A = this chain, B = another copy of it.
Amino acid sequence: MNDELTHFNEQGRAHMVDVTDKRPTERTAVAYGRIVMQPETLSRIQAGTMAKGDVLGVAQVAGIMGAKRTSDLIPMCHPLPLTKVDIRFEAVPEQNAIDIYGTAKVTGVTGVEMEALTAVSVAALTIYDMCKAIDKGMEIQTVCLLEKLGGKSGHYKRDGGNQL
């Protein structure tokens, strides 16, 4: 018997944390991300004249479906029966940007931060995909958790969230 590998396992190998004994509670998470682009790209998204179609409509569907795939994508995430996912876009022309807000809710034993963050990331990637023919330089910026409610660690609210 080789102790090294066994021991290494206890030291450093990944595992999906045991949450069997946690009581299901209502949990909410809100994540944020921004995608910055050329002014012309933003104008065309707003005018609905991108060749690939209604960019934000497609990004919204992609983000919501992406949130449902979170535990398939993030190795140590627990599968969760999400009870709500929503995405809201805000155009910020003075920053040549679209702000993306993703919300996820569940009544469960672990939080939904990853689901909210995945919704925002997949929505942003979809915007990139649908506009990349005219603007390869777009950047996804500041993907982060804005707020989290419920669970043992309680209420989390990002500092300076107002400036976002």
Q: Which residues of A contact B (CB under 8 A)?
A: 1-2, 4-6, 8-9, 11-20, 22, 26, 33, 46, 48, 52-54, 56-58, 60-62, 64-66, 68-69, 71-93, 98, 105-109, 113-114, 117-118, 121-122, 124-126, 128-130, 132, 136-145, 148, 156, 158-159
Contacts and interface: CB of A to CB of B under 8 A. Distances in A.
B75 A65 contact: yes
Contacts of A121: 121, 125, 140
How many chain copies? 6
A129 to B, nearest CB: 5
B58 A75 contact: yes
Main secondary structure of the interface of A (DSSP, over half): mixed
A89 to B, nearest CB: 5
Contact of A136 (B88, B90, B105, B113): B113
